[in-house]
C-alpha cells in the first residue's frame, strides 16, 4: 500500500507498506552488515524467503573481496525470491550523528541506485536502511533518502530505472518517511 508517491523524470518513487521479500521489483535491497552475515532483521527475512544460496553467495563475495565498507554495496542473486538481484547495502550504525553517519547513509542509498542502474533493472525496492537495529533516526534518514534519490535522478538522466520503492513493514514507520522525505 503506497502512502506517498512522486514522479520525477519518468521515475515513480513511492513510500509503501510492503514486505520486501515478496516484492516484485527486479532488485531488492538488503540492509546488510559489512561481513554480509544475514542473521537478523531484513537480512534474515531475505535469506529465509530466498534460500541459503543468498548467504552462500554473500560468503563467497566477502571471501573474494573482503568486508563491504559502510556506504558501499555488494550484489547476489535473488535465490528463490521474485527479485532477480539482492543489493546488499551497508548503512552506518547511529552513534549520535558526529561520526559521518549522514554522508555514509547517503552513500549507501546512492550507491544502491547506482548499482541497480548498472544491473539494468527497471525497478528497485529498498528498506529504510540503518533505521532498525542500527538506530538511525527515521525522520533524519527519510531526508537523506530524499537527497540521495534526487541526486541519483539528477546524475543518471538516462537510467532504465522506472520505479523506486521504499518498503516499510508497518504504517508508523512508513508515515514517518512519507512525512519527512522530500524530492
Per-residue pLDDT tens for 92-120? Answer: 999 999 999 999 999 999 999 999 999 99
What domain range is 168 assigned to?
Answer: 2-180
Q: Cell digits for 109?
A: 542509498
The average pLDDT across 71-77 equals: 98
Say what the pLDDT of residue 163 is: 98
Average pLDDT of the segment spanning 68-83:
98
Distances (CA, A) of 166 to 17, 29, 39, 59, 160: 8, 10, 22, 26, 18
Q: What is the CATH number of the domain that holds 95?
A: 3.40.220.10
- Give 41-71 pLDDT, tens digit per residue: 999 999 999 999 999 999 999 999 999 999 9
pTM of the model: 0.97
Alpha carbon distance 103, 93 (integer Å): 12
Q: What is the pLDDT of residue 162?
A: 98
Cell reading at 136 = 538511525
Mean pLDDT over 10-19 rounds to: 97
At residue 124 the predicted structure's pLDDT band, cuts being 50, 70 and 90, is very high
The number of distinct structural domains making up the chain is 1
What percent of the chain has pLDDT above 90? 99
Alpha-carbon distance 22 to 24, whole Å? 6
Residues 148-170, mean pLDDT to the nearest whole number? 97
The stretch 25-54 carries a mean pLDDT of: 97
What average pLDDT does the chain have? 97
Task: Yes or no: say if 75 and 87 are a contact pair by the CB < 8 Å rule.
Answer: yes
Amino acid at each position: 500500500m503506497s502512502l506517498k508517491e512522486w514522479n520525477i523524470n519518468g521515475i515513480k518513487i513511492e513510500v509503501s507498506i510492503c514486505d520486501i521479500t515478496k516484492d516484485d521489483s527486479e532488485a531488492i535491497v538488503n540492509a546488510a552488515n559489512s561481513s554480509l552475515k544475514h542473521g537478523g532483521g531484513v537480512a534474515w527475512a531475505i535469506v529465509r524467503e530466498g534460500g541459503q544460496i543468498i548467504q552462500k553467495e554473500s560468503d563467497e563475495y566477502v571471501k573474494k573481496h573482503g568486508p563491504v565498507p559502510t556506504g558501499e554495496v555488494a550484489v547476489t542473486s535473488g535465490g528463490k525470491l521474485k527479485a532477480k538481484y539482492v543489493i546488499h547495502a551497508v548503512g552506518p550504525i547511529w552513534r549520535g550523528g558526529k561520526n559521518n553517519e549522514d554522508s555514509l547513509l547517503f552513500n549507501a542509498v546512492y550507491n544502491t541506485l547506482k548499482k541497480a542502474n548498472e544491473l539494468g533493472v527497471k525497478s528497485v525496492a529498498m528498506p529504510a536502511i540503518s533505521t532498525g537495529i542500527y538506530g538511525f533516526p527515521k525522520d533524519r534518514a527519510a531526508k537523506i533518502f530524499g537527497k540521495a534519490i534526487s541526486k541519483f535522478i539528477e546524475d543518471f538522466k538516462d537510467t532504465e530505472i522506472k520505479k523506486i520503492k521504499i518498503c516499510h513493514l508497518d504504517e508508523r514507520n512508513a508515515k514517518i518517511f512519507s512525512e519527512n522525505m522530500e524530492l
